[in-house]
A and B are shown apart, each in its own frame.
Chain A
């Protein structure tokens, strides 16, 4: 590609001077000229030349003023200006350079010197332009990459469940991704009254690690269907992952466990993962690694270790981001964060305490993803778990209606796991939406707190708000009529719908807070 000819603008009130400079340059460069500062400015704006040779002494707008205008206009400010003048004393030169000119030539001009200086300045200008262009391109590319990274980060946080609702187990999860993407994942699902659990940590933080995480999430769940042997599941996953990972340098550590409540055992594979803990009546047991990480060798196999559990026992899984932290002095944490754990405290407190200790050590600066996953086996009572509580903190606007519908729907489906009529679940969700709707629309509340209590054959939804006294329970069950003109009934259908779609409603005012509870009974199908 041939470079474009550079273009020079000559501004001088004496045509003879323009003639001299034209003769000097027109073979090499494109030339524009003007005989006044005003015309020169107009041409400069229109043509954006690469260089301007500017006479100082001109009638009307002189060279200094012209240069000032050129430099104050963002469009022309980047064009180098060289003053050409008969005046030769140092003061003039200083004044010229102060207005933003890049160089100063005195008449009579020496053709070789003028040519050399013009060439130098044009080359400098070209270099600057290229640097600027490359800088802009780099910034654009960086912007695209950064956007991709944000998208991946966002997607990842949606792949992992906010909470798990499993029959027979209480679970408490804390997942905190670092600002880089990739890394940790966890999952859990019921197999009858038993359950599969897993936690994993992928080496590295990159979009490819994130991709691998998404693959793993689906892979283990599909391999785990109908298979209760963690050794076989992990070996099968490893064969598939090795095809993707060999030579990539990536690998993953994980713990996969199957909790068999009927037989009272946990079967577990730890593929190079950090030691997890089981807290039972006999104290603490470390769940040590039983084989290498995944992704190294397709022929690797894993031993399965087996531990007894009874109702109330707790398993604490985590990724090393929780313990491999540094304090303000750069010292690694060297105590055992799990030593003093009291397995009798409620699960959410246990998780909160562990996190608080880790946070206070590193002052909240975790280098890696932090995942903490605690599982407590419920007491067995006729093979059915007793209950689980899910709490929601909502914003006092209509967006909370969508949030609650989605979250409650997921929690109910997880809890009843296909054993009850899906229509009954959606009825209860609708009743809950109407309740939250009413509170947002009429309750003038600033605080909305909701709790979902899951029982073997029923669910209760408790909504606590501040603001207006609002006795939903006073409503009647009969559906209001749409009148002959098609007008909506006063107050709409909300209250009647709650009554119709749930099996009971209670209202009370406690310490200035409105507490409304609706309950629904579910028949097994």
Chain B
């Protein structure tokens, strides 16, 4: 699992690649904790490079979403491949976590969230 963290204003993009499974979730957990401590509660998981997600990987997404909401922030997942999309759908996790097609959509969604009076609103909001 390779984690690349990018900052766009107040928004963090965590570009993940490899397998999001039990053996790799701890790295993500500690990264997220660091970001919350540094007061960055708006995080995008860009999963375009993730070839496989299992139930532990799904678990970290749900836990992160809950923690960020508790810190008045938000988790958005983008770029889900077939396996991840199916997993999110059959567990109904996609009804609890914001899932958008691309990283651009995710950024637009976050920016709308951060400035409520924007005229052009993301269709996912």
Chain B at the A interface: mostly helix, strand, loop or mixed? Answer: helix
Q: Mark A425-460, 1 if CB is under 8 A from B, else 0.
A: 011001001100100110000000000000000000
Counting chain B CB atoms within 10 Å of each CB, which of A399, A433, A486, A492 scores highest?
A486
List chain B residues, Cβ under 8 A from A430.
Answer: 54, 83, 87
Among residues 395 to 426 in chain A, which have CB atoms less than 8 Å away from a CB atom of chain B? 397-399, 401-402, 405, 423, 426
A500 on the B face (CB < 8 A): yes
When chains A and B are docked, how far (Å) is the Cα of A406 from the Cα of B52? 11
**Are A405 and B59 touching (Cβ within 8 A)?**
no
What would be 30 A-B contacts, judged by CB atoms less than 8 Å apart?
A398-B23, A399-B23, A401-B21, A402-B19, A423-B86, A430-B54, A430-B87, A433-B52, A434-B54, A434-B55, A437-B21, A437-B22, A437-B55, A441-B22, A479-B91, A482-B62, A482-B96, A485-B66, A486-B65, A486-B69, A488-B62, A492-B55, A493-B55, A493-B58, A493-B91, A494-B55, A496-B91, A497-B87, A497-B90, A497-B91
Q: Mark B71-108, 1 if CB is under 8 A from A, else 0.
A: 00000000000110011001111001000000000000
The number of residues on chain B lying at the interface, defined by a beta carbon within 8 Å of a beta carbon of chain A, is 24
List chain B residues, Cβ under 8 A from A440.
Answer: 22
A110 on the B face (CB < 8 A): no
CB < 8 Å: which of B23, B65, B92 contacts A401? B23
CB < 8 Å: which of A397, A401, A485, A487 contacts B54? A401
List chain B residues, Cβ under 8 A from A488.
Answer: 59, 62-63
List chain B residues, Cβ under 8 A from A401.
Answer: 21-23, 54
- Counting residue pairs across A and B whose Cβ atoms lie within 8 Å, the total is 68
B31 on the A face (CB < 8 A): no
B10 on the A face (CB < 8 A): no
List chain A residues, Cβ under 8 A from B82.
Answer: 423, 426
Q: Using a CB–CB distance below 8 Å, which chain A residues touch chain B?
A: 397-399, 401-402, 405, 423, 426-427, 430, 433-434, 437, 440-441, 479, 481-482, 485-488, 492-494, 496-497, 500
**Are B83 and A482 touching (Cβ within 8 A)?**
no
**Are A487 and B21 touching (Cβ within 8 A)?**
no
Distance (whole angstroms) from the CB of B24 to the closest CB of chain A: 8
CB < 8 Å: which of B52, B56, B69 contacts A405? B52
**Are A500 and B55 touching (Cβ within 8 A)?**
no
Residue in A closest to B64 when the chains form the complex, CB atoms: A486
Chain A at the B interface: mostly helix, strand, loop or mixed? Answer: helix
CB < 8 Å: which of A426, A481, A486 contacts B83? A426
Distance (whole angstroms) from the CB of A448 to the closest CB of chain B: 14
Counting chain A CB atoms within 10 Å of each CB, which of B23, B54, B59, B96 scores highest?
B54
Distance (whole angstroms) from the CB of B2 to the closest CB of chain A: 14
Distance (whole angstroms) from the CB of B82 to the closest CB of chain A: 7
List chain A residues, Cβ under 8 A from B86.
Answer: 423, 427
Distance (whole angstroms) from the CB of A73 to the closest CB of chain B: 45
A398-B21, A402-B21 given; A486·B54 CB < 8 A: no
Excluding A402-B19, A405-B52, 19 further A-B contacts by CB distance (< 8 Å) are A398-B22, A399-B23, A402-B21, A402-B23, A433-B52, A433-B54, A434-B54, A437-B54, A437-B55, A441-B56, A482-B92, A482-B93, A485-B66, A486-B96, A488-B59, A488-B62, A493-B59, A493-B91, A497-B55
Distance (whole angstroms) from the CB of A413 to the closest CB of chain B: 15
List chain B residues, Cβ under 8 A from A397.
Answer: 23
Residue in B closest to A423 when the chains form the complex, CB atoms: B82
Among residues 43 to 65 in chain B, which have CB atoms less than 8 Å away from a CB atom of chain A? 52, 54-56, 58-59, 62-63, 65
CB < 8 Å: which of A423, A433, A492, A500 contacts B59? A492
List chain B residues, Cβ under 8 A from A496.
Answer: 91
CB < 8 Å: which of A402, A481, A487, A494 contacts B66? A487
When chains A and B are docked, how far (Å) is the Cα of A434 from the Cα of B93? 17
When chains A and B are docked, how far (Å) is the Cα of A437 from the Cα of B21? 9
Distance (whole angstroms) from the CB of A431 to the closest CB of chain B: 10
When chains A and B are docked, how far (Å) is the Cα of A119 from the Cα of B96? 85
Residue in A closest to B62 when the chains form the complex, CB atoms: A488
List chain B residues, Cβ under 8 A from A492.
Answer: 55-56, 59
**Are B69 and A433 touching (Cβ within 8 A)?**
no
When chains A and B are docked, how far (Å) is the Cα of A399 from the Cα of B93? 25
List chain A residues, Cβ under 8 A from B96.
Answer: 482, 486
List chain B residues, Cβ under 8 A from A434.
Answer: 54-55
When chains A and B are docked, how far (Å) is the Cα of A441 from the Cα of B96? 25
List chain B residues, Cβ under 8 A from A479.
Answer: 90-92
Among residues 7 to 25 in chain B, which have CB atoms less than 8 Å away from a CB atom of chain A? 19, 21-23
Residue in A closest to B53 when the chains form the complex, CB atoms: A430
Residue in B closest to A405 when the chains form the complex, CB atoms: B52
When chains A and B are docked, how far (Å) is the Cα of A486 from the Cα of B69? 9
List chain A residues, Cβ under 8 A from B63.
Answer: 488
A401-B54, A486-B62, A497-B55 given; A433·B21 CB < 8 A: yes
When chains A and B are docked, how far (Å) is the Cα of A195 from the Cα of B54? 35
Distance (whole angstroms) from the CB of B51 to the closest CB of chain A: 10
When chains A and B are docked, how far (Å) is the Cα of A427 from the Cα of B91? 14
When chains A and B are docked, how far (Å) is the Cα of A479 from the Cα of B23? 24
Residue in B closest to A434 when the chains form the complex, CB atoms: B55
List chain B residues, Cβ under 8 A from A426.
Answer: 82-83
7 A-B pairs with the lowest CB-CB distances in the bound complex, closest first: A398-B23, A486-B66, A493-B55, A398-B22, A494-B55, A482-B96, A493-B91
List chain B residues, Cβ under 8 A from A497.
Answer: 55, 87, 90-91
When chains A and B are docked, how far (Å) is the Cα of A496 from the Cα of B87? 11
